[in-house]
């Protein structure tokens, strides 16, 4: 685990970097033009779908450049600009960090009626063969919601709290609730499935990126699988960036390119040779080498937004016995993984809640002894628990892992070796990501499933992992009492009360050990100094970086002077 001293040093470094970036931006006027090349946090993965109605977790990362949402991160409150928010969370905008994007204002007309007033003058651009340039209106929001709600792929219960969405007039949308839901702003405001589409897309194949058009800062120009995604600047885009007290049109760059780089060696070579301007996800293993070979790079370190675990299907033997699941946790030397596998660049405990979820996260040392014990290495007790459960001679089980996840491919043999010491044999099956995701969503996955799954936000992390029937409840955990507590948490308006429920649920779920809990890694981001108005902000909503990239400019003179 990170020490208090090292944490303080990291915080000091963060604010020093932010101050330097702010001073730098005050001395310079933004420049227009050029191409921004980025290897994103998902740089090894192609777009999985261009259609929000496919309910795919990654589509917002790829379509969020052109499909805008009702709400987004208030980037004026970023650390870079002297604010408190780093904007690295996966899908969480805590109180005070959210602004209206397409929404100008909103209010609760009564406890179950939310009224959203849209900005006027936001335009969808002309798209030959699809639509003529026109203003975004409330009917587009209604169309987008209904299209999501009627999709056969919808996540169960996702919109159950909403009776209907109606357009009161061209710029007023009314959400009529049947009960309060604490995730209301996330579910259809800034979440994974909240993009606002023009109604004309109802007449074309949205799965084809060539038909894509939205009100956002960029429009997609091209897609080459396993190579790149290219976006171009939206002319006359409505939003502005305020710098040095002045407003500027955005985007600053003419073109944005996602580079799809399947191998880590290729990613590292690309940042060293400036084929990419930003590499958002660098493992600790390569940081020192990059700092020595390319000392000009700027750096940030942040706690990853994915929990790492082996999901153990509790609906199948032997994992239907909690003693077996607890034994699995005790058999794996998690502290050793932190120190040796991650070189100390990890947190022993950070899932399902994340330390950044203030009020919801409870440190491991404050939890009951039974929970703390699961994060220790005790193979002898693991053997006793297995014997009590009827597996004195151990057992064999299959675990599936994604071929596209470098980290987990290196971690899985280590886990297998720990389990072998207590007589448990892990058979490893490697699947291409598409197949890996498919077996999970169709619930045909193996008894073991080694995965990274996002923290999302403080309530969603409990709902998606433990509510019966949820798509991302990989362990197939089901408990009627837990279901009711999760629903009670979501219905609770008072946040302090909601936090109490969440903390209690988290302790119970850790004790139940439906997952083999594993440490969370720190992630490093590297970028060249000609990348301006940037401080390693990663997301402005749920897996959506578009508003961040729209505010970056390239110092072309500096880039040329540095030989690129």
For residue 468, the number of C-alpha atoms closer than 13 Å in the C-beta half-sphere is 10
Q: Where are the alpha helices (DSSP H) in 95-150?
A: 138-149
What pLDDT does residue 28 have?
83
- Among 341, 350, 365, CA closest to 307: 350
Distance separating alpha carbons of residues 148 and 127, to the nearest angstrom: 23
Q: Per residue in 210-227, is it b (16+ CB within 10 Å) or e — as a string?
A: ebbbbbbbbbbeebeeee
Domains of the chain, first to last: 4-284+528-561 (3.40.190.10), 306-521 (3.10.105.10)
Question: Is the Cα torsion angle 542, 543, 544, 545 positive or negative in sign?
Answer: positive
pTM of the model: 0.89
Tell me how many degrees the CA angle 530-535-541 measures, rounded to the nearest 5. 125
Q: Are 94 and 189 in contact (CB under 8 A)?
A: no
Q: Are 520 and 453 in contact (CB under 8 A)?
A: no
Distance separating alpha carbons of residues 234 and 219, to the nearest angstrom: 6
Q: What share of the chain is helix, strand, coil (3-state, %, to 5)?
A: 35, 25, 45
Residues with Cβ within 8 Å of 535's Cβ and at least 6 positions away in sequence, in order, are 17, 18, 21, 78, 79, 80, 300
Convert 354-365 into a string of H (helix), E (strand) and C (coil). Answer: CCCCCCCCCCHH
- Among 336, 367, 321, CA closest to 508: 367
Q: Are 439 and 431 in contact (CB under 8 A)?
A: yes
- The pLDDT tens digits of the residues spanning 18-76 come to 444 444 444 589 999 999 999 999 999 999 999 999 999 999 999 999 999 999 999 99
Q: Per residue in 81-117, is it b (16+ CB within 10 Å) or e — as a string?
A: bebebbbbbbbbbbeebbbbbbbeebeeeeeeebebb
Look up residue 549 and give its two tokens: 């990239």
What pLDDT does residue 27 have?
55
- Among 316, 306, 245, 317, CA closest to 281: 306
Residues with Cβ within 8 Å of 292's Cβ and at least 6 positions away in sequence, in order, are none
Distance separating alpha carbons of residues 439 and 429, to the nearest angstrom: 12
Q: Write down how long the chain is.
A: 564
* Cα→Cα distances 298→14, 137, 407, Å: 11, 42, 23
What pLDDT does residue 21 have?
47
Look up residue 313 and give its two tokens: 């299907």
What SS3 state is found at 397?
A: strand
Look up residue 25 and give its two tokens: 């931006």
Distance separating alpha carbons of residues 110 and 178, to the nearest angstrom: 12
Look up residue 135 and give its two tokens: 């203003």
Residues with Cβ within 8 Å of 333's Cβ and at least 6 positions away in sequence, in order, are 377, 418
Question: Is the Cα torsion angle 66, 72, 73, 76 positive or negative in sign?
Answer: positive
What SS3 state is found at 264?
A: helix
Is residue 324 packed enough to be buried (19+ CB in 10 Å), middle (13-18) or exposed (0-12)? buried
pLDDT along the chain (564 residues), means of 10: 38 43 60 98 93 94 98 97 96 96 98 98 97 98 98 94 98 98 97 97 97 98 97 97 95 98 96 98 94 97 95 97 98 97 96 95 97 98 98 98 93 98 98 95 97 95 96 96 98 97 98 97 97 97 97 97 96
CA 57 to chain centre: 9
Distance separating alpha carbons of residues 345 and 301, to the nearest angstrom: 10
Cβ-based neighbour number of residue 546 at 10 Å: 28
């Amino acid at each position: 685990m990170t020490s208090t001293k090292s944490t303080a040093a990291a915080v000091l470094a963060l604010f020093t970097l932010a101050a330097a970036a702010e001073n730098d931006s005050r001395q310079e006027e933004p420049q227009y033009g050029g191409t921004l090349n980025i290897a994103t946090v998902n740089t090894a993965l192609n777009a999985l779908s261009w259609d929000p109605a496919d309910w795919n977790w990654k589509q917002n990362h790829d379509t969020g450049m052109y499909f805008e949402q009702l709400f987004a991160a208030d980037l004026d409150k970023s650390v870079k600009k002297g604010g408190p928010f780093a904007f690295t969370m996966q899908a969480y905008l805590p109180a005070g960090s959210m602004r209206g994007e397409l929404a100008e204002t909103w209010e609760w007309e009564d406890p179950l009626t939310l009224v959203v007033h849209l900005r006027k003058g936001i335009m969808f651009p002309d798209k030959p063969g699809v639509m003529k340039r026109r203003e975004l209106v409330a009917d587009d929001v209604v169309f987008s919601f209904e299209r999501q709600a009627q999709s056969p792929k919808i996540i169960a219960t996702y919109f159950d709290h909403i009776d209907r969405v109606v357009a009161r007039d061209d710029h007023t949308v009314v959400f009529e609730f049947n009960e309060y839901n604490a995730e209301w702003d996330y579910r259809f405001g800034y979440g994974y499935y909240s993009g606002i589409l023009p109604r004309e897309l109802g007449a074309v194949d949205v799965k084809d990126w060539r038909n894509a058009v939205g009100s956002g800062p960029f429009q997609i120009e091209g897609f080459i699988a396993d190579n790149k995604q290219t976006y171009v600047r939206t002319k006359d885009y409505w939003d502005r960036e305020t710098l040095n007290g002045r407003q500027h049109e955005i985007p600053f760059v003419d073109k944005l390119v996602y580079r799809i780089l399947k191998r880590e060696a290729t990613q590292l070579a690309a940042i060293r040779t400036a084929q990419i301007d930003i590499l958002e996800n660098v493992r600790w293993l390569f940081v020192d080498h990059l700092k020595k070979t390319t000392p000009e790079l700027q750096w940030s370190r942040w706690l990853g937004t994915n929990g790492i675990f082996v999901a153990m299907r509790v609906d199948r033997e032997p994992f239907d016995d909690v003693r077996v699941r607890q034994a699995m946790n005790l058999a794996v030397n998690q502290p050793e993984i932190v120190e040796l596998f991650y070189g100390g660049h990890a947190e022993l405990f950070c899932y399902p809640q994340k330390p950044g979820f203030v009020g919801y996260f409870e440190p491991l040392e404050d939890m009951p002894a039974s929970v703390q014990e699961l994060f220790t290495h005790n193979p002898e007790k693991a053997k006793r628990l297995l014997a009590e459960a009827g597996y004195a001679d151990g057992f064999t089980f299959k675990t599936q892992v994604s071929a596209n996840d470098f980290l987990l491919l290196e971690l899985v043999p280590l886990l297998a070796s720990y389990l072998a010491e207590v007589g448990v044999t892990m058979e490893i099956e490697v699947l291409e990501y598409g197949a890996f995701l498919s077996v999970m969503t169709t619930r045909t996955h193996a008894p073991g499933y080694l995965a990274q799954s996002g923290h999302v936000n403080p309530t969603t992390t409990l709902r998606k992992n433990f509510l019966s029937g949820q798509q991302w409840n990989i362990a197939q955990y089901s408990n009627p009492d837990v279901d009711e507590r999760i629903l009670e948490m979501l219905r609770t308006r008072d946040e302090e009360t909601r936090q109490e429920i969440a903390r209690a649920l988290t302790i119970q779920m850790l004790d139940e050990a439906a997952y083999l809990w594993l440490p969370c890694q720190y992630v490093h981001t590297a970028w060249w100094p000609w990348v301006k108005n940037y401080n390693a902000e990663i997301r402005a909503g749920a897996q959506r970086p578009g508003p961040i990239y729209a505010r970056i400019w390239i110092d072309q003179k500096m880039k040329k002077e540095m030989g690129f």
